[in-house]
Structure 1
Amino acid sequence: MNGADLRDLLAVTACITTIFQNLAGTLICLKIVQKKSTGDLSALPFISGFLATGSWLGYGLLINDTSLILVNTVGATLNFAYAVLFCYYSIKKTIVLRQFVGSICAILTVLAYIANETDKDVSIKYIGFLACALTIMFFAAPLTSLLYVIKVKSAESLPFPIILMSFIVTIQWFFYGFLLHDYFIQVPNLLGCFLSGFQLLLFWIYSKSTVVTYTPLQNL
């Protein structure tokens, strides 16, 4: 298998697993609908997910990468829907709505900049940096609970299926970026791989029973 064939294979598998990863958010949304409240959950994963996928969609359009365009169109649509549902059921609607509207304005600002920038290389550079930063923020969102996990020596509060999918997805996109010689794709996914790998390590260290608890959801 030559480099081009491997790149195409990675593009297909990475797109499939990434879409499944984004669909994992439906599990959280189903619980919210059942309880008719978001409880203590944060809207940050959905909002940062929307910002990240929206930025990568713009990046994919600039470099004309079909895989990035496809997967981030789906990702941005799903995260937009998740954020709307979260806002509807949130007990802090004003705060969540402000954050959500702010994220939409940010995406529109980026798209407006791309449309008016005459130097394509400059556009690629800046939106690449933006997409990297937002992706790192998206991957780092679950880290807010790691201090609690370490303190109580239990990983029950961590969403095992989502973390496992993040680990698989980031490995694939890292190697895809490596084959494209694209550091904007490589760097955030390498970091995401380390972050999700560390969280998986916590499951192994603190509680094997935690993994068993989440086993029915591992097919996602």
Structure 2
Amino acid sequence: MEFLQFLSWACIVFTIGMFSTGLTDLKKMRATQSADNVQFLPFLTTCLNNLGWLYYGMLKKDGTLVLVNAIGAALQILYIMAYCHYTKTRRRISAQTMVAGAVLCVAWVYFSMFLSQGESQLAQLGLTCSVFTVSMYLSPLTDLVEIVRSGSVERLSFPLTVATFLTSTSWTLYGLQLQDYYIMVPNTPGIITSLIRFFLFWRFASVHQDTSTYKLIEI
């Protein structure tokens, strides 16, 4: 029980730390008064992911999931609002946000009204959240391929890689302790992709020792 409590706090601290990396982009947008060099979709997809897991945590009555994803969703909404304020392509951003909102509404209606409460509802929601999380962890693989081709790790963030590794590991162990495979399985790819990134840093960072900082890449 003590180990589970330790894992709970580890999940909270590491995950909030990972979500807070978006503050770097927020600071950049405020400094330049522009969102030209910041990606929008990671904010939107992460927000959807947070809201899905928040609902799952509420149904499962898991305080750790509820707290982490409530804070995560609030941060992503902050980043989205800031991006909408500074971007020059508001029409495109508004369209993407409306589509995401529509998807969220349809999902909520399906899971809350068309499924009877109980194990079936929880299982289908857990599976949906798991698939979405796995797709988010695997989406940067194309960037990793380009890094291997170019031999440059400038597009990678080492602090974010460490945060992703610690977050994925803590959630995997947390899910294992609870015997909840919907939590454990989707976080395993986060560990694998983080280890790949560590290898790339070891392999290519020495080529660019004069580079003192790394650019942020969203997961």
TM-score, normalised via structure 2 length: 0.89
Consecutive unaligned residues of structure 1, counting only runs of 5 or more, are: none
CA positional deviation for 1:206: 0.3
Could you tell me which of 151, 154, 172 is aligned with 1:153? 151
Deviation per residue, 1:155-176 (Å, 9 max, x gap) = 0111222222011100000000
- Alignment partner of 1:70 is 2:59: no
Distance 2:210 2:39 in 1: 23
Could you tell me which of 171, 175, 178 is aligned with 1:177? 175
Equivalent residues of 1:51, 1:134 under 8 A apart? no
- Alignment partner of 1:29 is 2:26: yes
Deviation per residue, 1:82-114 (Å, 9 max, x gap) = 122122222322222221222223223333333
Equivalent residues of 1:58, 1:111 under 8 A apart? no
Which residue is equivalent to 1:111?
108
Equivalent residues of 2:176, 2:184 under 8 A apart? yes
Equivalent residues of 1:139, 1:195 under 8 A apart? yes
CA RMSD, 1 decimal: 2.1
Higher percent of residues as helix: 1
* Matched pairs, number: 213
Deviation per residue, 1:157-208 (Å, 9 max, x gap) = 1122222201110000000000111111111101111012211211111014
Could you tell me which of 152, 163, 166 is aligned with 1:165? 163
Distance 2:135 2:89 in 1: 22
Change (3 A) 1:211 1:58: farther
Change (3 A) 1:73 1:210: farther
Distance 2:170 2:28 in 1: 30
Change (3 A) 1:105 1:22: same
TM-score, normalised via structure 1 length: 0.88
Consecutive unaligned residues of structure 2, counting only runs of 5 or more, are: none
- Alignment partner of 1:206 is 2:204: yes
Change (3 A) 1:100 1:127: same
| TM alignment of 1:124-143, pairs within 5 A | 124-143=122-141
Distance 2:201 2:210 in 1: 7
Q: Quick check: 35-44 or 18-27, which moved more?
A: 35-44
Which residue is equivalent to 2:120?
122
Distance 2:80 2:12 in 1: 22
Which residue is equivalent to 1:95?
92
Q: Quick check: 54-63 or 99-108, which moved more?
A: 99-108
Change (3 A) 1:143 1:93: farther
Sequence identity (%): 26
Deviation per residue, 1:113-152 (Å, 9 max, x gap) = 3332323222111211221122123223433422321122
Task: In structure 2, give the amino acid aligned to 1:189.
Answer: N
Task: In structure 1, give the amino acid aligned to 2:212.
Answer: T
Change (3 A) 1:42 1:153: same
CA positional deviation for 1:62: 1.0
Distance 1:160 1:141 in 2: 18
Distance 1:201 1:97 in 2: 38
